[in-house]
């Protein structure tokens, strides 16, 4: 039963990340859904989402950046 619960939780989390990402794009006026395009200026968004309690994996899914890039942005020495 716990395994089924974890699968359901992961599924809900992925779907919520999609909804958040689409809402964020709409707020920012981003209409370009090209996957290979490098996103500029996501640092502030990454820090905002981290301050709201989201983990690096969820933030990466929302902003469309690699998890390693998000973790780099969140390291204390990178923060100005």
Residue pLDDT, tens place only, 6-41: 888 888 888 898 889 888 888 888 776 666 666 677
Domain count, the chain: 1
Query: Is residue 44 situated within a structural domain?
Result: yes
SS3 of 79, please? coil
Query: Is residue 79 situated within a structural domain?
Result: no
* pTM, 2 dp: 0.71
Q: Which domain holds residue 61?
A: 2-31+40-74
- Residues across the chain: 80
Query: What pLDDT does 2 receive?
Result: 62
Q: How confident is the model at residue 5 (pLDDT cuts 50, 70, 90)?
A: confident
Query: Is residue 45 situated within a structural domain?
Result: yes
Kindly write down the DSSP assignment for every residue of 18-58, as one continuous string: HHHHHHHHHHHT-----SSSPPPS-HHHHHHHHHTT--HHH
Query: Is residue 80 situated within a structural domain?
Result: no
Query: Is residue 7 situated within a structural domain?
Result: yes
Query: What pLDDT does 37 receive?
Result: 63
pLDDT of residue 79 exceeding 60? no
């Amino acid at each position: 039963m716990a395994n089924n619960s974890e699968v359901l939780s992961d599924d809900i989390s992925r779907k919520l990340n999609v909804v958040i990402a689409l809402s964020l794009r709409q707020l920012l006026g981003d209409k370009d859904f090209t996957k290979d395009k490098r996103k500029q200026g996501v640092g502030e968004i990454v820090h905002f989402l981290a301050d709201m309690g989201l983990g690096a994996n969820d933030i990466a899914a929302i902003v469309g950046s690699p998890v390693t890039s998000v973790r780099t942005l969140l390291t204390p020495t990178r923060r100005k």
